[in-house]
Amino acid sequence: MSAFRENQITTTWLDSVIAEKIAAEKPPTDLAVIIGALCRAYVQFTDRAELFTKCLEHGQIPPLAKSLVEFPVELIYEDVKYCFKLTRADVSTFRARLANDEFGKDS
């Protein structure tokens, strides 16, 4: 793996990694799920913010149904469906709600 760290990757190196069946460790389920939800909420936020700005630039009222604060996110990981509601708390923070649990994460 030193070739990877030193950025000396070749197709031969990649073929040897595949042959050795080296695989990355899976992250813990809770970490994978919350990061996935945060990423989806962030993408929704940037898309909505862009739409909001374009509407204002054209002198239009942005659609009220598209909040810049709350983002429902559903994702399926390892055959389990997770339903989140993420709230943009400030410029660098989202709050996530899954069932009745709430936790925050700075982006």
Per residue in 35-77, pLDDT tens?
999 999 999 899 989 998 999 999 998 887 778 888 889 989 9
**Torsional class of 78: left (φ above 0), alpha (ψ -120 to 50), beta (otherwise):** left
38-71 core/surface letters (b: 16 or more CB in 10 A; e: else):
bebbeebbeebeeeeeeeeeeeeeeeeeeeeeeb
* Residue 88 pLDDT: 87
pTM of the model: 0.66
d(CA 87, CA 37): 11
Hey, what are 44's tokens?
């929704």
Domain count, the chain: 1
Within a domain: 9: no
- The boundaries of the domain holding residue 93 are 27-106
Within a domain: 99: yes
Within a domain: 38: yes
Within a domain: 58: yes
* Residue 39 pLDDT: 92
Question: What are residue 86's phi and psi, to 5 degrees?
Answer: -105, 140
